[in-house]
Structure 1
Amino acid sequence: MDQQGDKQGAERPKPITVIGFEGSANKLGVGIIRDGEVLSNPRHTYITPPGQGFLPRDTAKHHQAHILDVLQQALDIAKVKPQDIDCVAYTKGPGMGAPLVSTAVVARTVAQLWNKPLLGVNHCIGHIEMGRRVTGAVNPVVLYVSGGNTQVIAYQLKRYRIFGETIDIAVGNCLDRFARVLKISNDPSPGYNIEQMAKKGEKLIDLPYGVKGMDVSFSGILSYIEDAAQTLLDSRQATPEDLCFSLQETVFAMLVEITERAMAHCGSEEVLIVGGVGCNERLQEMMGIMAAERGAKVFATDERYCIDNGAMIAQAGWEMFRTGHTTALEDSWCTQRFRTDEVEVTWRDD
């Protein structure tokens, strides 16, 4: 019996530990995953004054200033040493050029210093795989909503297929830019603060509704409410809370509509919301109402994982690494444009 037990123990595969570096926008994160378990996931956010966005150059300087501290935090919290790491994953794109490069340089350096394989990860797939791992969603239609991306996605034939997307700006960018008009604080994020103000809104202002088939458009809505905001406020026809409420209700209704259409097409009974805007409780509530009417279920995560973080890059890297993916040093570049459906999904069964 002892010999049999020893033999079974010897055949048990060694756990795979992956460290992930994320820095595609203003969130800098380093996360460590071991076979699906989050060992650590520290993050540092670049926050600008109210009314201002974040420029690539300044965001890159923030990442450069904090990356080594965040890396050390990740190792300390996880209680792992460099020799325990099996693979170093980093965000290859999409994202802002200078922040992406700043973070990737550190990942490349660490991989060479530690003599570990390197792996470039698609940012969106990081969100999806982290969402699937945390929520237990099996084969959901995915609504990916963030400051830089808005897509409705479903898996089929080794790809995450894009069923619909924004044709101009992302929904998160729309909300962030309106927050600048009202001089809403960027701490902890403009989207979060709009959400809190929207909860106090009472009057629904009629805004343009930009659904075009399976795609959405937010630039016209943003231009309209930017132009109308001051007049409505000065004439006391609306409060800032009313404007936040109206914008949220309109853009979220658009997102729910195209998600439901994708679910109907795919015959799906699951929807997974990922990305920074996915933290919004009102969006989750509206999606839940639609899903309940279809006999479907909504999956979402909290701010630990829906907001950009290193663990999601580590999780996607873990999935890729265990199925044979690595990135040669000469191919470890970054790109601001990296389509979700460009990646072959070798780790999922059809």
Structure 2
Amino acid sequence: MPVRVRRSPLAKPDRPYLALGLEGSANKLGAGIIKHDVDGSSTVLSNVRHTYITPPGEGFLPRDTAQHHREWALNVIKDAVQKSGVSMQELDCICFTKGPGMGAPLQSVALVARTLSLLFNKPLVGVNHCVGHIEMGREITGAQNPVVLYVSGGNTQVIAYSRQCYRIFGETLDIAVGNCLDRFARVINLSNDPSPGYNIEQEAKKGTQLLPLPYATKGMDVSLSGVLTSTEALTMDKRFRSDGQPKGPDDKDFFTPADLCFSLQETVFAMLVEITERAMAHIGSKEVLIVGGVGSNERLQEMMGIMARERGGQVFATDERFCIDNGIMIAQAGLLSFRMGYTTPLSRTTCTQRFRTDEVHVAWRA
């Protein structure tokens, strides 16, 4: 069923515009179609996603993930087109993730986008993955000028808009928060279905002990590899009970996998709240927008909400349909670019694994 969202940040279009968005920077393959209406609002016509899931304890390799995307691309795109009620001929443009992300999966989806462009004679628009998250978050929530916390498997950044650019105020110095949580989920053999980060969140709700872990904020940046290593080391501690049960009646100092998940989440999220609050103070903003797959974590939203309310502010976040990697966010950001006259020539539809958020000209914002 179509999802009606808020007014576009651009002036009202002279006619309805339609875009197909293709996302495949990691293990999610997504396709979505969005419509920008003449009254300035947007309508999500379809948003289809298929996830590559590996066995417990295993991550996803670029080659295998790319193969998954190639195998599922046709089904996912056909499903998105059928659910939208429009045809490929009616589209104004085809948008694809240019980066950042894993090289092989990115290239697989870019190849599909190029093929569709040639088959149906449609212009292409390369999209920065992070900007896609931000623009979809702004459109769905109505946040006006928020500090953005972008948290996903491959990225952790605190961002704010200034002079047609999304400026990075702080970021991770090593691994991303999603990578940190996912890797620990595999250490304790949690399932990857629907995602290791989601299962960490559910396990953390059962935790009762907050164990001391390294807390590493460095100005506006965070370092997460140390807290991950320390949490992993605790699984080798003699007090650790992998089955969650004490050995005997005198075993009072034991801790469980749930306690470790709880401690890891609380520590890492506290670090993210701290650097986000610094950015809010710097630009004088009362809004926080959380985007990226980890942004759907209810505990992170709760902690950020407490901080924002203490500052007289508000937190904005979306549900898993728009928070987790999806094609509709690529369609949204791509269509905003397209309406400003931007397209990507076929010869430049290459992918950039390290495509920085602050390298994008945000022409559609004044």
TM over 0.5: yes
What residue number does 1:102 align with?
108
Residue 240 of structure 2: SS of its match in structure 1? helix
Does 2:173 correspond to 1:156?
A: no
Output one character per residue of 1:3-23: Cα deviation in whole Å (capped at 9) or x when no partner: xxxxxxxx9822110100000
Q: 2:186 aligns with which of 152, 161, 180?
A: 180
Q: Which amino acid aligns with 2:359?
A: E
Does 2:137 correspond to 1:131?
A: yes
Q: Which amino acid aligns with 2:66?
A: A
What residue number does 1:199 align with?
205
**Deviation (angstroms), 1:151:** 0.1
Does 2:116 correspond to 1:116?
A: no
Partners of 1:237 and 1:243 lie apart in 2 by: 11
Output one character per residue of 1:32-81: Cα deviation in whole Å (capped at 9) or x when no partner: 01012110000000000000000000000000000000000000000110
**Deviation (angstroms), 1:237:** 2.0
Partners of 2:289 and 2:361 lie apart in 1 by: 20
Percent of pairs with identical residues: 70
What residue number does 2:336 align with?
319
Q: 2:277 aligns with which of 243, 251, 260?
A: 260
Residue 325 of structure 1: SS of its match in structure 2? coil
What residue number does 1:51 align with?
57
Does 2:244 correspond to 1:233?
A: no
Output one character per residue of 1:159-214: Cα deviation in whole Å (capped at 9) or x when no partner: 00000000000000000000011000000000000000101100000000010000
Partners of 2:66 and 2:213 lie apart in 1 by: 36
Partners of 1:143 and 1:13 lie apart in 2 by: 33
Residue 271 of structure 1: SS of its match in structure 2? strand
**Deviation (angstroms), 1:228:** 1.5
**Deviation (angstroms), 1:229:** 1.6
Q: Which amino acid aligns with 1:239?
A: T
Q: Which amino acid aligns with 1:310?
A: G
Q: Give the 5 Å matches for 1:297-336.
A: 297-336=314-353
Does 2:78 correspond to 1:72?
A: yes
**Deviation (angstroms), 1:248:** 0.2
Q: Which amino acid aligns with 2:292?
A: G
- TM-score normalised by L of structure 1: 0.96
Q: Which has the higher helix share?
A: 1
Q: 2:148 aligns with which of 134, 137, 142?
A: 142
Partners of 1:256 and 1:343 lie apart in 2 by: 26
Residue 101 of structure 2: SS of its match in structure 1? coil
**RMSD (Å), alpha carbons:** 1.1
The alignment covers a number of residue pairs equal to: 339
Q: Give the 5 Å matches for 1:21-60.
A: 21-35=22-36, 36-60=42-66
Residue 30 of structure 2: SS of its match in structure 1? strand
What residue number does 1:292 align with?
309
- TM-score normalised by L of structure 2: 0.91
Output one character per residue of 1:270-316: Cα deviation in whole Å (capped at 9) or x when no partner: 00000000000000000000000000000000000000000000000
What residue number does 1:6 align with?
none
Q: Which amino acid aligns with 1:184?
A: L
What residue number does 2:19 align with?
18
Q: Give the 5 Å matches for 1:332-347.
A: 332-347=349-364
**Deviation (angstroms), 1:318:** 1.0
Gap change, CA 1:166 and 1:12, over 3 Å in 2: closer
Give runs of ≥4 in structure 1 deviating > 6 Å: none
Gaps of 5+ in 2: 1-11, 37-41, 242-250
Partners of 2:180 and 2:295 lie apart in 1 by: 14
